Chains A and B, each alone.
Chain A
Amino acid sequence: MFKNTKKLMLVFAIILAAAVAFAGCGAKKEEAPKADGEKKGLSGSITIAGSTSVQPLSEELAKAFMAKNPGVTVNVQGGGSSAGVKAANEGAAQIGASSRDLKEEEKGLGLTETKIALDGIAVVVNPKNQVSELTMEQIKGIFSGKITNWKEVGGKDAPISVVNREEGSGTRGAFEELILGKGTKFTDKALTQPSTGAVRTTVAGDENAIGYISLGTLNEEVKGVKVDGVEPTIDNVKNGSFKISRPFLYLTKGEMNEVTKAYIDFVMSEEGQKIVKEAHFIPVK
């Protein structure tokens, strides 16, 4: 077998060579759009990775930005808030997106935070559910597993089917912090869906389900319940009466390159913030 080690190394080298050759071809191609962008003077490509809640908004912002700067490519990736923090820190993406505040240990990484929008988290039930109002305490009881039947909160006699997000999700992190607080845990019995949309679909399909989703993605498939009597609307989040909200953050590390800086400037501009509003999120300016 030892004799083959050399050969193994060689094969490895060949694969690498092939990979580099391919990468080379790619790099050449990349230069092509430069010619178009020369007039504007901005070209290159950046990647935004992270929170799936921020992703739809980033897509829209990126599209508008690319329309203005034809030489620029902005790639928008999912992955989740923790992945966004990691990607920005390790340089896998120029911008990391997070849908929750940074945790203590993440704050030490030296990332620059830019708050691009605010988002409410709506607690949603099936439209057929009679319950349309819950208190913070009741929501806490339901998601921690203390309240297990809808009749305990004024609904019909049916078991509550809790739909949760997976650990690491920014929406879950923010919800946990705002509703459950320290020391209380989510019930083990909750279904786990890997995205906001999947939670919404699940709740839309099950009369006894309850979940929580980004306010920006609330639609007629599900019913957003009033929390402590306050309707989940953009205005109520803005004026502070709807309590469950969290920031959308763009994270960058060190000196931003030209394109990244231009993009973030665009997002924070009046035009960018208008897109934030149109996407049903809350502008920060």
Chain B
Amino acid sequence: MQKVRSFVYWEEKIARGFLWASVLVTIGALLAVIFHILQHGLVHVNWEFLTREPLFMGKEGGIFPTIVSTVYLILISLAIATPIGIMAAIQLTEYTKKGPLVKIIRFATETLAGIPSIIFGLFGFAFLVLFMGFSWSLLSGGLTLAFMVLPTIVRTSEEAIKSVPLSFREGSMALGATKWQTVWKIVLPSALPGIVTGVILSIGRVVGETAAVILTAGSSLNIPSSIMDPARSMSVHLYILAMEGISMEKAYATATVLIILIFIINSIANRIMRKMSSNLAA
């Protein structure tokens, strides 16, 4: 008996040890990446770096045009994906919930979510850049990114809409509102925080994408002056700085700016989510 017990005892110890170790390694590996980048990058990030134009392919100067381009890409892709995504989510949750069409739409959304970005890039290149004649431009890049983030927005909006209590809708309908009035005035406002979270997460995806952006938006370092101009996002700039060996300092600095940006985006999303859950609980 004693022997069995000690085996159980040791197994428990070892298991706990393994779990602790896996957490420490996971967090450690991830922190190591962040720490390394910040350690080498923070010193080079300053106001000038953020607001000046790059010189010599980015070897000197700042990253201002890439920030502008990144913002444009975010705006364009979300301006397209957000309304379509939310409307799709309303359709799937409030209007047709079952049937073959819904099944097909769901399958398509899931497929879209799983397609690697390089495939989106190839598609954007073949369809938008060449076939539609948009060339490498903010428009091609923005549309490609819109397709990429669409599933995220559909899914999070669906979840948010589903979590609105049925009694809200019943109350509204009982007062004589039409279905759309109910959706517009009652359901959407209640689901808004969840939807916003999805949109913010999509911003993160747009900011971080590289492969698809190079193939569709190009890599020009100018500040784009129209939607048909080519552009270079910050992630693409980092890739080029590092791979072309142009400047490791600037690469670290760009990576630092990216990490800080993602940190801010995530904190906002988290805050909204927390607010939402506390609102629902109340």
Contact = CB atoms under 8 A, between A and B. Distances in A.
Contacts of B218: 49, 75, 77
A73 B225 CA distance: 9
Contacts of B142: 22
Contact of A92 (B101, B129, B220, B244): B129
Given A195-B243, A198-B243, A200-B245, A25 B220 contact: no
Contact of A198 (B135, B139, B245): B245
B42 interface: no
B101 A29 contact: no
Nearest to B53: A63
A75 B57 contact: no
A249 interface: no
A26 interface: yes
A60 B56 contact: yes
Interface string A245-285: 00000000000000000000000000000000000000000
A19 B143 contact: yes
A113 interface: no
A77 B139 contact: no
A30 B229 CA distance: 9
A124 to B, nearest CB: 12
Interface in A1-34: 4, 15, 18-19, 22-23, 25-27, 29-30, 32-33
Nearest to A195: B244
A181 interface: no
B265 interface: no
Given A59-B56, A77-B219, A198 B227 contact: no
Given A56-B57, A73-B222, A197-B246, A19 B230 contact: no
A197 B251 CA distance: 13
B76 interface: yes
Interface string B208-238: 0000000000111110011111100000000
A26 B57 contact: no
Contact of B228 (A23, A76, A92): A23
Contact of A76 (B139, B221, B227, B244): B221
Contacts of A49: 136, 218
Contacts of B134: 19, 23
Contact of A22 (B76, B135, B221, B243): B76
Contacts of B219: 77-78
B80 interface: yes
Interface string B108-145: 00000000000000000000011010111011001100
Contacts of B129: 92
Contact of B227 (A25, A32, A201): A25
Contacts of B246: 197
Nearest to A77: B218
Contacts of B244: 52, 195-198
B227 A18 contact: no
Contacts of A15: 80, 143
A194 interface: yes
| Residue of B129, B226, B240, B245 with highest tally of chain A CB at under 10 A | B245
Given A19-B132, A23-B134, 13 more contacts: A15-B143, A18-B80, A26-B138, A29-B227, A47-B136, A73-B225, A77-B136, A77-B230, A93-B135, A193-B243, A197-B243, A198-B245, A204-B245
11 contacts: A26-B138, A26-B226, A55-B57, A59-B57, A73-B222, A75-B220, A75-B229, A77-B230, A92-B130, A194-B243, A195-B243
Interface of B: 56-57, 76, 80, 101, 129-130, 132, 134-136, 138-139, 142-143, 218-222, 225-230, 240, 243-246
